[in-house]
Amino acid sequence: MSGSPSMTASGDDGVVGPTLPAARCDTPSPARTVQGLPSLPGIVLLWFLPKRVGASLAASGWHAAVAAHMLSVIVGLGLIVCAELPPTFNSLVKQQFLGWDIEIDLPAPRMTCSEYVRGPFAAIAVVVHAAGPGSGGFARSLLALTGIQGAVLLLAVVMMPFAAAGEPAGRLFGRCLRLTWWSTTLLIPLGLVWWAEPQWRSWLDLPDEWHAVDSAALALFGVLWLIVLLRSGYRYAGKAQGPAWSARTPRCEKCGYRIVGLPYSTNCPECARPVAESLAERRAPPPFAVADTPVRTISAFWPTAWKVITTRDFFARLPVHSGHSRARAFFLMVCVVNWGLAFLGAWRVGTAFQAEVVLVHALADAVVVACVVLLGHVLLAAAFAGAVSAIARRALQPAAVATFYLMSSTVPITIGAVTLLVAGVTTATIVDDIATPLAVDVIMSLLLAVGLVVFAWALVRALMNARRAIVQTRFANR
């Protein structure tokens, strides 16, 4: 009886077969690659088609990734430094220098094309050397460089559960690190926009000082960066090796005991759980994972989320060795829903105590809060999947699948928190107003109570679900 590629772990005569088929038996199609430095023009393609070119860039080796990263840090940061330097470096800056108003009678200096190209490099050199050895300019630059590399390492780790294709963890980390280096090329367009800031500000007739819209634009740029980074890792074009391509041993799903050769009708000798309850075919994809059109996908979201939150054995029925990309799509929908909820909550709180609401300011502030909440979600999912995988010594891909579904437990928490916030600030703004109708007071008190109950219930549920997601998928046979 060999491990047939069917989804069951069973032999024909009612005993458990010797192996479970590997989760993947396909051979990933190799990416079209350009090795080494000639791959640098791929930078621009990455910004617009991250999913398509990500695999090629990851396969183009370490040298190209490091070169692309160093070039973009120097050019991107150099352009930002140029924007803050006096007009010698940036003929677009005419009035402001480090917060001081300066009057220049001379016309803006003319720079040649080659001076423009060399500008960012010169600006970085000036910053590194300007302060001199006595005042720690070099040490500050070194510290900044260490900070950048620390952030890159963190982003690469965060990316791992999203990019996991079933390859060994070390190779996955290498791929994520190279792609994170490639993604830092987005510093170049950011630097260009920053550098040209005085110009487009005058075109758009915007004031010179930092504006709430600037924060919102920066937050949205951060989300765009995150999307480019995560999507660049969606396609895997490496070797067909790793946990996903290895056959597994059928185990008792409660205690991990090898149940090979045991009849279905018996119990696990270790923990007495019926063998039939550990069979692979007990796990079936949730509605979201089998929806085949965009409309069905959207309509399957809420039933699946409801199942995750309220069903005790959702994770005992969830196949975790397959369906990674659908689980990831589910998590992204959770992010969108929470982004919207956070935006509404922040909007209400931000506008509650202002006598005169400036629409643009309130919108921009709410966008920033919602983007921070979104980033928090991605970090939380990555941290949970990573911790489950590291502590329980499980492959990252199945840990990520369980985590992505688990994350829908945050939706009722956000609903509860937003209801509490909205009811709280509304009550606070009407508390001194004697003319407020009694009905409004009653409704607000009810909303406060509902928000508090939902929040507490959702928090307890989320913690219980997190425990179930770990326990019920630890020895999953499918």
Interface contacts to Zn ion, rule CB under 5 A: 252, 254-255, 257, 268, 270-271, 273
Give 251 or 468: the residue with its C-beta nearer to Zn ion.
251
Shortest CB 264 distance to Zn ion, Å: 14
Shortest CB 397 distance to Zn ion, Å: 24
Shortest CB 267 distance to Zn ion, Å: 8
Shortest CB 477 distance to Zn ion, Å: 12
d(CA 30, CA 245): 16
Secondary structure string (H, E, C) spanning 392-434: CCCCHHHHHHHHHHHHHHHHHHHHHHHHHHHHHHHHHHHCCCC
Give 231 or 254: the residue with its C-beta nearer to Zn ion.
254
Output the CA torsion 390→166→32→65 (10° steps): 0
Give 255 or 260: the residue with its C-beta nearer to Zn ion.
255
**Residue whose entry in the numeric block shows the structure tokens 């990573």:** 386
365-399 burial, b at 16+ Cβ within 10 Å, e below that, comes to bbbbbbbebbbebbeebbebbbebbeeeebbbbbb
Give 257 or 315: the residue with its C-beta nearer to Zn ion.
257
d(CA 466, CA 406): 7
Give 151 or 272: the residue with its C-beta nearer to Zn ion.
272
d(CA 102, CA 439): 59
Distances from the Cα of 46 to the Cαs of 29, 80, 190, 230, 231, in angstroms? 19, 22, 15, 12, 10
Give 71 or 255: the residue with its C-beta nearer to Zn ion.
255
Distances from the Cα of 428 to the Cαs of 278, 425, 446, in angstroms? 54, 5, 14
Using alpha carbons, select from 414, 419, 401, 420 the residue that is nearest to residue 308: 401
Shortest CB 268 distance to Zn ion, Å: 3
d(CA 402, CA 474): 10
Contact 247, 22 (CB under 8 A): yes
Give 315 or 347: the residue with its C-beta nearer to Zn ion.
315
Three-state DSSP state, 202: helix
Give 15 or 305: the residue with its C-beta nearer to Zn ion.
15
Shortest CB 406 distance to Zn ion, Å: 24
Give 259 or 454: the residue with its C-beta nearer to Zn ion.
259
Give 274 or 287: the residue with its C-beta nearer to Zn ion.
274
Shortest CB 317 distance to Zn ion, Å: 18
Shortest CB 475 distance to Zn ion, Å: 9
Using alpha carbons, select from 174, 152, 216, 202 the residue that is nearest to residue 347: 216
Distances from the Cα of 443 to the Cαs of 29, 426, 454, in angstroms? 59, 11, 16
Shortest CB 257 distance to Zn ion, Å: 4
Task: Say which DSSP state 208 is in.
Answer: S
Beta-bridge partner residues of 10: 16
Distances from the Cα of 214 to the Cαs of 77, 277, 446, in angstroms? 18, 56, 38
Shortest CB 365 distance to Zn ion, Å: 54
